[in-house]
Amino acid sequence: MVLHKLSLSNFRNYESLSVQFSPGINHIIGENGQGKTNLLESIYCLGLAKSFRSNSDADLIKNENTEFQIFGEFYSENKVKHKIGIVATKVRKAININRKRVQKHSQLIGKIPVVLFSPEDHKITSGPPAERRKWLDIILSQSDQHYLKNLQTFKRALKQKNNLLDRIARKEENPEQLNYWNSIFVDVAEKIIAKRMALIENIQDDLAKYYKSISSSKSTIDLGYHSSTGLSKITRETFEKYISDAADKEISAKTALFGPHRDDLVVFLNKKDVRKHASRGEHKSILLALKIVEYNFLHTRTATKPILLLDDIYSELDFGRQKKIITHLSQLGQTFITTTFHPKISSSDDDQAFLITNGSVEEYN
């Protein structure tokens, strides 16, 4: 997928913007605080229907305005045009696909696959389990509508179950009421876990290959799925029995203690958990490898090249590694890279550079 034209109105620090991009590498250049990441954020919104920096649309509206608008004109690999539009106020959001308003925001997810690499992504390898679950969920939600639907159902069931556990603990409900929500909970939870484990198995070999290439290291890298249940093999039957047996413990805690919302993806380097045993450079190499396998997985599953959004990827990299990254990116799809300087590295005549100054954009020569 290629973003041909982007238009913004009252989005972050952009009052009005209309710009056309290269199908290759687009360098977004500017000093800090000028709007480089805001530009990437707007493209991300067109793919995931939400920001990667804020849970509130109100934060995306410029100053005292009442709404923001994002419009993107895309072309698929077979030259089919797709138009995506988002108009959001502080309280509601409307999304249009090819000029038709969608009933659910989730209908947009997967239409324009995107892969983001931002400074905050260090949390994937060094942060809490929620960051790794989020990474798995974003990949699978963009590539599998059934997964996305199951994830949404699970979140609703989890909320209802937690409310019920609290009421049971306060003697306001009969514990038998748990059976209904546990049935829904277990059904979708087992499907979510199965898809996550299949994804991990699918990307394992590629991850090892790309990590070796990026790091020039002989270290081994492996992935593991850690279930909050501790079960080595999870089926609907084994999971259902475990949840049933844990009822008293969950009532006492007033919350659901076991399930995909408590599971973790564990990354091992030389058989050791990277959260405790990897250097800063190793973390960055692992993250880059994870993003490449994320790209490849989405490309394969959606038959569409994702758009790559790379925020401040050049920081702390010497010229040789910058060149290595550009060489690899040139073999992928459309890419947007924010940077405070022009790297003076070009992989194609199609590459473009843009200078961002306080919400205004001009071509950089």
pLDDT tens, residue by residue, 137-191 = 999 999 999 999 999 999 999 999 999 999 999 999 999 999 999 999 999 999 9
The two structure tokens encoding residue 189: 């939870």
Query: Contacts from 79-83 at CB under 8 Å and sequence distance 24+?
Result: 82/1, 82/111, 82/112
pLDDT digits (tens, 9 = 90+) for 274-306: 999 888 888 888 998 999 999 999 999 999 999
Overall average pLDDT of the 45-68 stretch: 94
- Write the CA distances from 213 to 155, 216, 228, 331, integer angstroms: 38, 5, 33, 15
Q: What is the pLDDT of residue 317?
A: 61
How many angstroms from the chain centroid is the CA of residue 52?
Answer: 8
What whole-number percentage of the chain has pLDDT above 70? Answer: 94
Contact at 8 Å (CB) between 253 and 262? no
pLDDT band at residue 318 under the 50/70/90 scheme? low
Rounded to the nearest angstrom, the gap between the alpha carbon of residue 24 and the centroid of all alpha carbons in its chain is: 22
Could you give the CA distance from residue 299 to residue 302 in angstroms, rounded to a whole number?
Answer: 6
349 pLDDT tier (thresholds 50, 70, 90): low
* Residues 163, 167: Cα–Cα separation, whole Å: 6
- The burial class, CB within 10 Å (0-12 / 13-18 / 19+), for 18 is exposed
The residues, ordered by sequence, that sit 6+ positions from 65 with a Cβ below 8 Å of its Cβ are 10
Residue 64 is predicted with a pLDDT of: 87
**Higher-pLDDT residue of 220, 324:** 220
| Distant-in-sequence, close-in-space partners of 94: CB < 8 Å, separation ≥ 6 | 86, 87, 88, 101
pLDDT score recorded for residue 314: 73
- Mean pLDDT of all residues in 216-222: 89
Q: Please report, for the chain, the start and end positions of each structural domain, with discontinuous segments joined by +.
A: 1-23+31-112+341-364, 125-280
Give the whole-number percent of the chain exceeding pLDDT 90: 75
Contacts of residue 129, defined as CB under 8 A and 6 or more positions apart, other chains included, come to: 262, 263, 264, 265
CATH of domain 1-23+31-112+341-364: 3.40.50.300
Q: How far is CA 277 from CA 33, 221, 290, 318, 331, in A?
A: 34, 12, 18, 24, 32
Query: Mind listing the pLDDT tens digit for each residue in 208-218?
Result: 998 988 888 88
Does the pLDDT at position 27 exceed 70?
A: yes
Over residues 112-126, mean pLDDT: 93
Token readout for 274 is 């990277």
Q: Are 305 and 333 in contact (CB under 8 A)?
A: yes
Entry pTM: 0.91
Q: What is the DSSP letter of 61?
A: B
Confidence of residue 119 (pLDDT cuts 50, 70, 90): confident
pLDDT at 50 over 90: yes
**How high is the pLDDT of residue 235?**
87
* CATH label, 125-280, candidates 2.40.170.20, 2.60.40.10, 1.20.1050.90, 3.40.640.10: 1.20.1050.90
Return the amino acid letter for 74: F
The pLDDT of 4-22, averaged and rounded, is 95
pLDDT, the chain, mean: 91
Strand order from edge to edge, sheet including 2-11: 14-20, 2-11, 67-75, 81-89, 93-97, 100-101
pLDDT score, position 330: 67
